[in-house]
Structure 1
Amino acid sequence: MTVRPLDSLDTSVVLESVSRSYPNGDGAVAALDEVTARFGHGTFTAVMGPSGSGKSTLLQCAAGLERPTSGRVVVAGQDLARLSDRKLTELRRDRIGFVFQAFNLMPSLTAEQNVALPLRLAGRRPDRAAVRRALAAVGLADRAGHRPAQLSGGQQQRVAVARALVTRPAVLFADEPTGALDASTGREVLRLLRTVVDRHAQTLVMVTHDPAAAACADRVLFLADGRVRDELTDPDPDSVVARMLLLEASC
């Protein structure tokens, strides 16, 4: 069997034996326990599990927002443990996109200005054509001059997705991206995310508690007690629910 290197070109993110513990009184509590996972280029992975299973910690370690207690994380060929704080900040800024449940848009800025904000914060002059392309990719080319208060919740989340994509990241991390949306609007955002993966070969890792959202992914990783307990490929809502019930029954 051929073992692929951790920085192989077909893999955007690799976690190898990643653990993350937090102080708890005189001891420590493990949020992640020896987690190993690969996220291939141009794939859509959903991460699910009971409350406290380690989903958000996995995302934060994979995205370089937290450093693991032990183990190795490789993003876009870069071993995060080998990066200084400055280089890690630059990697997150240039090669990693984030979409959260809260849209986190600046209310005084237009959609176009919100999308351009990561470029300005990086000290780069925004390419207006690139910003407009990002808005067009999420179906909001005609809303470039609108401020968040003039947009629906779904449109605001689309702006947030465009903002995350404008730097052409190696991987897009989404933490409950439809959690603040109604069911219909949430489905629209999920269709958009699926299109971004299929049309632009974007790597996407999404934490969710919603089986219907997870069913939009290529595969689902199930966590419990800080470990990967199961995996499902080509999911549908019923199979996701069934796996979650088995997982919860075994905990």
Structure 2
Amino acid sequence: MKLMEGLDTAVELVSVTKLYAHGVTALDDVTIGFRHGTFTAVMGPSGSGKSTLLQCAAGLDKATSGQVRVDGRDLTSLSERKLTLLRRNRIGFVFQAFNLLPSLTAAQNVGLPMRLAGRRPDRDVVRHSLAAVGLEDRADHRPAELSGGQQQRVAIARALVTRPAVLFGDEPTGALDTNTTRDVLRLLRSLVDKHAQTVVMVTHDPAAAAYADRVVFLADGRICGELADPTAEAVASRMLALEESC
């Protein structure tokens, strides 16, 4: 797969390989780009390298070789301090676990990245982030007073508060029920459609992947295909074929 040279890409991985101890190859010479304002789902069998791809792309893990560029910056050439600043300011990450501080209100949780950066949280920016996920009226509620779906929305608002170039999600709906999952996926879809947010999401759920513009499939640490304008049925069929071949 050729690099998307010259296109409006938010994230690029160029010949990225990630090796772990005992000779385990999590990613094997992966080259792929994610365009600004698009929603991409990443899928593959267990152990295919999905989460490693996401973590390397987000600068949470370091590639053994190759280049990772986010918003035009080469992560592999940055010092640890500059990489930390880039992650804090230009990269949003949402996990399956909400990771909210129980003693803080929704607004305080959303403003936490600003405090960690040594800045006073901007109330208008925090309010705008909560409004973007439909929770402006829950700003003073603590996590225990919110549903699981609302807690994940707060986590998404926290990831958005720095206006990141890309929002990564590692199974962001994995802990939610079916109806709440649908609400969160619609939210991610609307962030792309209304605000041109770039979203890259790892999921195992074909129905979740169908909300994306395209699905990228991994197997044994390599890109093994893509699907544009996916349907749940088409994704499920492709996944079944992948799992049977592994």
TM-score after normalising by structure 2: 0.98
Structure 2 equivalent of residue 184 of structure 1: 179
Counting aligned pairs with the same residue, the percent is 73
Structure 2 equivalent of residue 39 of structure 1: 34
Tell me by how many angstroms 1:249 deviates. 1.9
SS at match of 2:172: coil
Structure 2 equivalent of residue 152 of structure 1: 147
Aligned residue-pair number: 245
CA contact 2:153–2:184 (8 Å) conserved in 1: yes
Matched, 1:64 2:59: yes
Match of 2:20 among 14, 19, 22: 22
Residue 111 to residue 227, structure 1, CA distance change in 2 (3 Å): same
SS at match of 1:145: coil
Match of 1:128 among 94, 118, 123: 123
SS at match of 1:120: helix
Tell me by how many angstroms 1:4 deviates. 5.5
One-letter amino acid of the structure 1 residue matched with residue 11 of structure 2: V
Matched, 1:94 2:92: no
SS at match of 1:68: coil
Tell me by how many angstroms 1:250 deviates. 2.0
CA contact 2:4–2:32 (8 Å) conserved in 1: no
Work out the CA distance in 1 between the residues paired with 2:224 and 2:180.
31
Tell me by how many angstroms 1:93 deviates. 0.3
One-letter amino acid of the structure 2 residue matched with residue 117 of structure 1: L
Match of 2:78 among 75, 83, 95: 83
Structure 2 equivalent of residue 201 of structure 1: 196
Matched, 1:173 2:168: yes
Tell me by how many angstroms 1:84 deviates. 0.2
Match of 2:228 among 233, 238, 243: 233
**Unpaired runs of 5+ in structure 1?**
none
Matched, 1:108 2:106: no
What's the CA shift string for 1:69-118, capped at 9, x where partnerless? 11110001101111000000000000000101000000000000000000
Work out the CA distance in 1 between the residues paired with 2:47 and 2:142.
36
SS at match of 2:21: strand
Work out the CA distance in 1 between the residues paired with 2:33 and 2:45.
21
What's the CA shift string for 1:187-216, capped at 9, x where partnerless? 000000000111110000000000000000
Work out the CA distance in 1 between the residues paired with 2:244 and 2:108.
48
**Unpaired runs of 5+ in structure 2?**
none
Work out the CA distance in 2 between the residues paired with 1:9 and 1:159.
32
User: Runs of at least 4 residues of structure 1 off by over 2 A?
Assistant: none
